[in-house]
Structure 1
Amino acid sequence: MKKQVALTWTLAAGLVLTGCATSTPASDTTATAASAPTTATAEPTIKGVGIDVADIDRSVEPCEDFFQFSGGNWLKTNPIPAYASSWGPRNLLGDRTQALLRQLLEEAAANTSAEKGSNAQKVGDYYASGMDSMAIEKAGTTALKPELARIAATKDLKSLPATVAYQQQLGTGGFFRAGVSPDRKNSTVYAVNLNQGGLSMPDRDYYLKDDARSKAIRDAFVTYMTNTFQLIGDPAATATKKAAAILRLETRLAKASKTRVELRDPNANYNKMTVAAFHQQFPTIGLPTILAQNKLGTAKEVIVGQPQFFQELNAVLKTESLADLKTYMQWQLVSSVTSALPKAYSDEAFRFAQVQSGAKQQPVRWKRMLAATDNTLGEAFGQLYVDKAFSPEAKQKALDMVANVKESMAEHIQTNTWMSDATKAEALKKLNALRVKIGYPDKWKDYSALNIARDSYLQNVLNARKWNYQQNVQKYGQPIDRNEWSMTPPTINAYYNPPMNEIVFPAGYLQPPFFDPNADDAVNYGAIGGVMGHEMTHGFDDQGRQYDSQGNLRDWWTKADGEEFTKRAAVVGTQYSAFSPLDSVYVNGKLTMGENLADFAGLTIVYAALQKQLQKQYGNGPRPKIDGFTPEQRFFLSWAQLRRTNIRPEALRQQVLTDPHSPGQYRTIGPLMNMPQFYEAFGCKEGQKMVRAEADRAKIW
């Protein structure tokens, strides 16, 4: 896994974007369509679209292991490519999407007569400069030298904040994360957020755990740093000393960092204080200087995510030698741009990534540059993508599905048996206020101030970082921009944004096999419908439920209802913590809580929406089998087939440690094991592995 660079002052620190996940317990509502008996099916069987019948492993009973039953043959015949650490349907869709995007980018790169300053010129030149490996080799670190010189010129502790501020503008990820995003307790205004960061490895535990695998990763990290410093020109002894200093410094930051589970508590990570109070408590950080230099000098208050971290950061800046602090900033800068440096640098980065993910080889250069161009200019060529890949008819069908799922969610809230009327009223108010974004932005991003040329890819990367920073900080003091997207149109993903109370589905996700206008409703509701329900119910998971209809962090639950929700959610946490994908490796039910809740709640809500859709289509008459399966069976098969995943052991260990999503096999079976609707669809009986005893089932919506 490549180093995650904190887009400091550009990434909305404190903004919670919840992507595709897993979810809550089974329905505890009064009788609804979701629990109605399955209508008799009619013959003859007809052939359908969307379910790969050949991928089903019929040697496995669906009620014993639905993950293997639904896609066991696919798992056997789809090994992980050498360049990947895991492989599933999303990767296959990614390949198709990449083929189209590559065509668009190569056409843009070939168009050397595009009007200067136009999106076409910027997209073409950015991609072309990234693909020109000979020019990158020849340029070496030339464009980086002024930035390294700026760090080297830092003379004393007093001048350090100005250097840190500039590194923030460059998005190197050094020391801490900061950015402008909506105030989570007053979502009508933007706030400056400060959060823990500064680590090169994916998680604090990589620095602190003493098991053999963690030690091996740390050793590989030291080797990566040592070799990179030698590439820059340091003698071996100096490079070794520098690597040791960085590991020591980052370990101090890791010890002061909250765990990923602790970071899931939005109230505990909201600590508003005046800039003056922050400076009084943590004077060495020099926040007033940093804010002034980064065009946020008018800010009088900041929201501090983790005060204890900043206490330690203040101590680090005060007690570590200036030479080591400069070495750390040098490392953060260089390691954040290895993809734009000569091959020797990116090879070192990949060798370290291999130890973490198990990938055998790097993706080819055009794939890496495509991803980089999408990340930097995604809304520029995203306009071309949606013209070719996303029809108005597809958008309307997706909107209709969301409306049906929303209606089903409202009914589940209204008929909920354990929630009080007062809490139900607030929940319905939040649901009704939910904003839905489908496909692409109504207003496209303006790239006019971004300078991109064909002569230096590294300079383009640095220019884009600075521009991105400007885009973020200029929001401060302005009205909230509710048209903004946090994903580009080709992205194969979706998210729920609590402060905006919105669900967002890029066009890239609304393609087969996730969404197919030619497939029957059961398939689409089990696939993209499951994602829609998932994102919608994120607004009511253990984190999302703490935000109100306007996106404010406010407790709108009665005390009794909040306690009951927590008790019911804990059942889900216990269930998932018992799942073990590898020997001695267990899913973290607390880290994955929100995603597990959203999977289960979303699937329950969407199943009911499908039943209403089928009722409209067939009434009380027979419902045809397709591919030999009832609509209900196809719904669950569609859900499962999109989560079939082969994953390398190294990547699986990393996922369990760092990812709020459970592994694919447990995202598949976890919700179903609690759903009577699933038992009925496949005739499951008590005692079978996919059937939890009634007393052990999770029941929320």
Structure 2
Amino acid sequence: MIRLKQRNIGYFMILFILSLFSLSKSLPVKQSDNFQPGNDLVNCLNESADPCNDFYEYACGQWTNQHTPAEGFPIWSNWYLISHSVRPKIKDLLTRANSETDIEAIRKARKVYQACMNKDAIEAAGAKPVIKLVNDNGGWPLVMKSDEWKAKNLTWQQIHSRFLKTLGVEALFAIQMPPDVKNSSITRLVVSEPNLVLKKKELVDSKNFRQSFAYTGYKLRVTDIFLRRSSVEEELGNVSLLVELNNFEKELAEITHDEQGINNIDEWYSLMTIDELQELYDSANMTSPTAQINWLETIRDMFTLTPEITVNGSEPIIVPGKEFFPKFAALLNKTAPETIVNYIVWCVITDVSLYANDELRMLLSDFNNRRVGADPIGTREYDCVSLEQMGRAASYLFVKEHSSEESKEAVQELVGNIQEAMKNYIQQSTWLDNETKNLATEKIDAIIKFIGYPDEYTDSNINEYYAEFTPTDSYFENEMRSRVFQMKRALRELRKPTNKKEWPVEPKAINAYYIPVLNTMGEY
């Protein structure tokens, strides 16, 4: 889904740039005393370059001279520059004392921020919250004695379902509820291949020796943290299990699709029932109980969070890249259950380490440095201001303090001008027939625009949204609760008409986007 969306965003951006280019023929480029964004664009020009030979150098040649990248960031752009100007404002709002007029959701947001910033409590807890999470769900065989793990009497299927349902960790496969890409008026179940810890090419390409070496080192360091708190003697280690984990992870990556996805949506998209998915999966003729998956029960288990919704075998589902599933069954058929559980738990650890103490966070940071030469993990203050556990409430605070109806109207006018420019460019094109021109124009007119902030942002609306979320003084526990809260909201969307007026991201996000499936455009 994401891969196709990225590709379609590319199409939109091409049209957008072409439209601006057509407008630019009649607009002089000059500096203005009262329009800083325009001045920034002009200052980034390298007017000594020939735009016909190297347009990028002409348009952006002076950008790096004007904007020194911040240390430690793998990417530095206008997005980050603007975001950095917004963060202090959000921090100021979250660090203020509660007043009598503050609604409950705002109080919750400040409690979440305080828990995130309470480094003393986080460091005192150490790695224990992560270890407890793992142990409460059967443990990690890699750091357990064999008979100790078997005594738990939990199957990998049960363990995977627990983590998928409560944390959204898609270790072996994903279950989501997005709009149907071929009928965006309805929300459907999608069962798809997993999200890998690393990119596929990093796991399967022998040329990526640096990343592979760094990744193995990261695993060993995390394993050491767990070993120090386990019943297994450190000098023993389960080296063979670690090797099997690595091999399984690589083989799983080999049967997933490449990062660029599938070009033909008809090849990617398969609408079937849950019963038909079961038939497809069982066609691999597995002989080992380890490979058995009851898809109906697996999906039903997700909906135990929302018992008001029932699902049966005739439920329509979308299965992208369906050829993955027989291959997946064959892989499970030859893999020991301990290895599968080791991989599931590893995916969980890497997913939640960011919310733990500095020891686990710094291991992840060091790995990223070795892997890509930069650290995408921010400082604790950076992360706490960005935290999405109460993102809508923080956005509401920001909107009330720093947004105005005048600025919203100005951006609405800007977006309207972009739409008109795009329509004019399409109608004037010589390479499109009239039917295509008219269809494209109709779609531009039908774009749903999210500008500034939602009109329905009210005290009661925000309080109602967070009614089921109760924060604690624990940063890690808040993240766990937030994920269950968000999962419940997602599950309740099943079969509902797609609400195309639901904002995809919060107004405090620095963003501009186009989502083809929903034909929505946002400017913040």
Aligned to 2:497: 479
Aligned to 2:144: none
Q: Please identify, of 355-364 and 123-132, the stretch whose mean Cα deviation from structure 2 is larger.
A: 355-364
The reply on whether 1:34 has 2:22 as its aligned counterpart is yes
User: Secondary structure in 2 aligned to 1:103?
Assistant: helix
Which string of whole-angstrom CA distances, capped at 9 and with x for unpartnered residues, describes residues 441-492 of structure 1? 33456011112111x1111111111111111011113232223222111111
Give the AA of the match of 2:170. Answer: G
Give the AA of the match of 1:162. Answer: Q
Q: How does 1:470-619 map to 2 (within 5 A)?
A: 470-505=488-523, 507=524
Q: Distance in 1 between matches of 2:316 and 2:153?
A: 24
RMSD value, Cα: 3.4
Match 1:224 to one of 213, 218, 222 = 218
Aligned to 2:142: none
Contact map agreement 2:395 2:508 (CA 8 A) in 1: yes
Aligned to 1:358: 373
Q: Distance in 2 between matches of 1:236 and 1:332?
A: 25
The reply on whether 1:409 has 2:422 as its aligned counterpart is yes
Which string of whole-angstrom CA distances, capped at 9 and with x for unpartnered residues, describes residues 587-637 of structure 1? xxxxxxxxxxxxxxxxxxxxxxxxxxxxxxxxxxxxxxxxxxxxxxxxxxx
Q: Distance in 2 between matches of 1:36 and 1:112?
A: 50
The reply on whether 1:89 has 2:78 as its aligned counterpart is yes
Contact map agreement 2:188 2:317 (CA 8 A) in 1: yes
Match 2:298 to one of 290, 306, 311 = 290
Contact map agreement 1:130 1:457 (CA 8 A) in 2: yes
- Pair 408,354 (structure 1): closer, same or farther in 2 beyond 3 Å: same
Give the AA of the match of 2:224. Answer: Q
Match 2:181 to one of 178, 181, 184 = 184
Once the two structures are TM-superposed, the CA of residue 56 in structure 1 deviates from its matched residue by 5.1
Match 1:464 to one of 482, 503, 515 = 482
Aligned to 2:472: 453
Aligned to 1:51: 39
Once the two structures are TM-superposed, the CA of residue 383 in structure 1 deviates from its matched residue by 0.9
Return 5+ residue gaps in structure 2 as ranges: 140-148, 283-291, 304-308
Aligned to 2:120: 134
Aligned to 1:554: none
Aligned to 1:442: 455
Once the two structures are TM-superposed, the CA of residue 199 in structure 1 deviates from its matched residue by 1.2
Which string of whole-angstrom CA distances, capped at 9 and with x for unpartnered residues, describes residues 17-60 of structure 1? 66688526997x9xx99389758x899x9756332466555665
Contact map agreement 1:82 1:360 (CA 8 A) in 2: no
Match 2:171 to one of 163, 174, 177 = 174
- Pair 15,191 (structure 1): closer, same or farther in 2 beyond 3 Å: farther
Identity %: 20
Aligned to 2:156: 160
Give the AA of the match of 2:521. Answer: I
Q: Please identify, of 352-361 and 340-349, the stretch whose mean Cα deviation from structure 2 is larger.
A: 352-361
Match 1:394 to one of 390, 402, 407 = 407
Aligned to 2:88: 99
Q: Distance in 2 between matches of 1:429 and 1:59?
A: 41
Contact map agreement 1:82 1:361 (CA 8 A) in 2: no
Once the two structures are TM-superposed, the CA of residue 294 in structure 1 deviates from its matched residue by 0.9
Aligned to 1:331: 346
Which string of whole-angstrom CA distances, capped at 9 and with x for unpartnered residues, describes residues 665-689 of structure 1? xxxxxxxxxxxxxxxxxxxxxxxxx
Give the AA of the match of 1:493. Answer: N
Contact map agreement 1:19 1:495 (CA 8 A) in 2: yes
Q: Distance in 2 between matches of 1:204 and 1:473?
A: 29
- Pair 122,75 (structure 1): closer, same or farther in 2 beyond 3 Å: same
Contact map agreement 1:246 1:327 (CA 8 A) in 2: yes
Aligned to 2:287: none
Aligned to 2:5: 16
Once the two structures are TM-superposed, the CA of residue 72 in structure 1 deviates from its matched residue by 4.3
The reply on whether 1:151 has 2:138 as its aligned counterpart is yes
- Pair 239,297 (structure 1): closer, same or farther in 2 beyond 3 Å: farther
The reply on whether 1:246 has 2:245 as its aligned counterpart is yes
Q: Please identify, of 260-269 and 329-338, the stretch whose mean Cα deviation from structure 2 is larger.
A: 260-269
User: Secondary structure in 2 aligned to 1:310?
Assistant: helix
Which string of whole-angstrom CA distances, capped at 9 and with x for unpartnered residues, describes residues 639-683 of structure 1? xxxxxxxxxxxxxxxxxxxxxxxxxxxxxxxxxxxxxxxxxxxxx
- Pair 409,120 (structure 1): closer, same or farther in 2 beyond 3 Å: same
Which string of whole-angstrom CA distances, capped at 9 and with x for unpartnered residues, describes residues 557-598 of structure 1? xxxxxxxxxxxxxxxxxxxxxxxxxxxxxxxxxxxxxxxxxx
Give the AA of the match of 2:470. Answer: N
Q: Distance in 2 between matches of 1:106 and 1:244?
A: 47
Aligned to 1:523: none
- Pair 154,297 (structure 1): closer, same or farther in 2 beyond 3 Å: farther
Q: Distance in 1 between matches of 2:150 and 2:278?
A: 21
Once the two structures are TM-superposed, the CA of residue 180 in structure 1 deviates from its matched residue by 0.6
Q: Distance in 1 between matches of 2:192 and 2:325?
A: 8
Contact map agreement 1:161 1:286 (CA 8 A) in 2: no
Once the two structures are TM-superposed, the CA of residue 423 in structure 1 deviates from its matched residue by 2.6
User: Secondary structure in 2 aligned to 1:491?
Assistant: coil
Q: Distance in 2 between matches of 1:286 and 1:67?
A: 53
Contact map agreement 2:210 2:371 (CA 8 A) in 1: no
- Pair 339,384 (structure 1): closer, same or farther in 2 beyond 3 Å: same
- Pair 86,48 (structure 1): closer, same or farther in 2 beyond 3 Å: same
Contact map agreement 1:14 1:193 (CA 8 A) in 2: no
- Pair 51,287 (structure 1): closer, same or farther in 2 beyond 3 Å: same
Give the AA of the match of 1:223. Answer: G
Q: Distance in 2 between matches of 1:35 and 1:489?
A: 28
Give the AA of the match of 1:178. Answer: I
User: Secondary structure in 1 aligned to 2:517?
Assistant: coil
Contact map agreement 1:449 1:467 (CA 8 A) in 2: yes
Q: Distance in 1 between matches of 2:476 and 2:29?
A: 63
Which string of whole-angstrom CA distances, capped at 9 and with x for unpartnered residues, describes residues 380-415 of structure 1? 110111223322111111111222222222233333
Aligned to 2:200: 204
Give the AA of the match of 2:244. Answer: A
Which string of whole-angstrom CA distances, capped at 9 and with x for unpartnered residues, describes residues 107-137 of structure 1? 2xx449998x921222112111111122112
Contact map agreement 1:273 1:301 (CA 8 A) in 2: yes
Q: Distance in 1 between matches of 2:420 and 2:23?
A: 16
User: Secondary structure in 1 aligned to 2:215?
Assistant: helix
Match 1:119 to one of 100, 105, 112 = 105
User: Secondary structure in 1 aligned to 2:188?
Assistant: strand
Q: Distance in 2 between matches of 1:61 and 1:67?
A: 10
Match 2:394 to one of 381, 386, 399 = 381
Once the two structures are TM-superposed, the CA of residue 288 in structure 1 deviates from its matched residue by 1.0
Q: Distance in 2 between matches of 1:458 and 1:245?
A: 30
Q: Distance in 1 between matches of 2:118 and 2:445?
A: 50
Give the AA of the match of 1:422. Answer: E
Aligned to 1:635: none
Which string of whole-angstrom CA distances, capped at 9 and with x for unpartnered residues, describes residues 413-440 of structure 1? 3333232233333223322222111112
Aligned to 1:314: 329
- Pair 408,92 (structure 1): closer, same or farther in 2 beyond 3 Å: closer
User: Secondary structure in 2 aligned to 1:268?
Assistant: helix
Q: Distance in 2 between matches of 1:86 and 1:143?
A: 31
User: Secondary structure in 2 aligned to 1:285?
Assistant: coil
